[in-house]
Amino acid sequence: KDVQKEREPHVYLSKEEVKEKIQSYNSSVTDKLKMTLNANGIYTGFIKVQMELCRPITVQSSQSQGRRAHSNNETAFYLPDGCVNTLHISSTNTVREVIEALLKKFFVADNPAKFALYKRCHKEDQVYTCKLSDREHPLYLRLVAGPRTEMLSFVLREHETGEVMWEAFSIPELQNFLRILDKEENDQLQILKNRYAAYRGKLEEALRGVLKPG
């Protein structure tokens, strides 16, 4: 179930405590995605983020990367459900920076403000999903929870419908959304027409058999 919680307090760890937790974390890692503690106390590591996007995303073409794309250089499409991406980040990176890095990695042109990062955790045989504050640090949460994704995982979603900042969408994006919806509607209509045409054919064939002389 999804729950909205207040931001959990960040427990500041000493450098020695961080070192011990990283050693414990790395000893439990099974996918070689270990954490590294630097001399300045900042540590780096990996997080996996599952993409659960209901609306289409806008992706820049290779010719438009690095500059503002025109509408004819952008494509809107639905991301496959359950897609998981791995990011290498540091303990100083915030939720907002993680979202921006994810979008940049896949050349997504949409405004980062349209998205939110959630944490999903298991407590008392139930799954809880909580939206993270923009200023929280995902790698710290990963370190404290340990490497097991069934204990803690990250999910990227759009903001809830009531939270969508429609002004963040450009006219070409909205037009792309409408084109996609029109195509889906036409595809579903064609499927229904084909289904009923096949059903009509079978009924007519059965009637001809019943009405056949003799």
Query: What are the backbone angles phi and psi of residue 49, rounded to the nearest 5°?
Result: -125, 125
C-beta atoms surrounding 76 within 10 Å: 20
Confidence (pLDDT) at 17: 92
- The reply to whether the predicted model has a pTM over 0.85 is no
User: What stretches of the chain adopt beta strand conformation (E)?
Assistant: 36-37, 43-51, 57-60, 74-77, 83-90, 115-123, 126-131, 152-158
Per-residue pLDDT of the chain (214 residues; tens, 9 = 90+): 444 444 455 567 888 999 999 999 999 998 889 999 999 999 999 999 998 888 778 787 654 444 444 445 667 777 777 789 999 999 999 999 999 999 888 788 888 888 899 998 877 778 888 889 888 999 999 999 999 988 899 999 887 655 556 666 667 767 776 777 788 788 888 888 998 998 888 888 888 777 766 5
Secondary structure (DSSP) of 155-203: EEEEPPGGG--GGGS-HHHHHHHHHHHHHHHHHHHHHHHHHHHHHHHHH
pLDDT at 213: 67
Angle formed by the axes of helices 138-145 and 15-28, to 10°?
Answer: 70
Residue 36's φ and ψ, nearest 5 degrees, are -130, 130
